[in-house]
Structure 1
């Protein structure tokens, strides 16, 4: 699987742990490269574009709380990002919503729980054969098509 990772200074350490977990996948790190204070959009936006353009199958973005990454990522057409703080939520984010980006908050969960959350998210398939989930995801995609511009 091709996976884009990105984050800011608050998420750097956990992002490095996530990259170790992802060994065996084709992983590209969009930055940041250390704990020097930086602006999250500088790293998450290019990674989200790469997922939205289908150059990557999935993305894992790590910042302090996770919501900044999700806010940025969900502005990009083709990206469906969820903030998850435990494996249960990660499983539902994949199986019920077909998310392609997982956002984690390094200040919210410890690395052990975060790594289990990533593992659960990566190994869960979308339940496309369950009509209510398929219909729900189609509705979300229709909303995105109606409101997110691709020509910018």
Structure 2
């Protein structure tokens, strides 16, 4: 699977470790930066990364900033993105099983590398539970998205 990575300066170090894990798991990694810890604006990296994920259904994203919430806020403004912030493996499992999330957001300032890598491993290896109640719930979220966001091909 292709995984798009992005971060801000607070997530660069953890992003390198996540990239190595994903590569070792056999995934193709597309790191959109940044590549140094010099201060940057998160949206300059997460926005284009979210667009890439939204344009390809077979792609997921992992975005890392200080606490993860900034990345999720930016990503969830894009049609086709279902970004979650996870701070433990249990939440990562449920974010895939129950919500079919396609973007994982992590906090490089609040999660150590060992737990972060386990979160990524669990999130990447957990499938959506395609049971009636979860399908119904995900579809309701998609209806809200369709009501309030424009599809990428509708944007001028």
- Change in Cα spacing, 1:102 to 1:116, as seen in structure 2 (3 Å) is same
Name stretches of at least 5 consecutive residues in structure 2 with no aligned partner: none
Q: Find the counterpart in structure 2 of residue 85 from structure 1.
A: 87
- Change in Cα spacing, 1:56 to 1:41, as seen in structure 2 (3 Å) is farther
Equivalent pair of 1:50/1:56 in contact (CA under 8 Å): no
Q: Find the counterpart in structure 2 of residue 120 from structure 1.
A: 122
- CA distance in structure 1 between the partners assigned to 2:36 and 2:122 by the alignment: 27
Between the two proteins, the alignment pairs up a number of residues equal to 151
Looking at secondary structure, tell me which structure has more helix per residue. Answer: 2
Where does structure 1 differ by over 6 angstroms across 4 or more consecutive aligned residues?
A: none
- Kindly report the root-mean-square deviation, in angstroms, between the aligned alpha carbons of the 2 structures: 0.9
- TM-score, normalising length: structure 2: 0.94
Listed one character per residue, the Cα deviations across residues 113-150 of structure 1 (whole Å, up to 9, x for unaligned) are 0000000000000001x111110000001110110113
- CA distance in structure 1 between the partners assigned to 2:111 and 2:29 by the alignment: 22
Match of 1:40 among 35, 38, 42: 42
- TM-score, normalising length: structure 1: 0.97
Listed one character per residue, the Cα deviations across residues 69-101 of structure 1 (whole Å, up to 9, x for unaligned) are 000000001110000001000000000000000
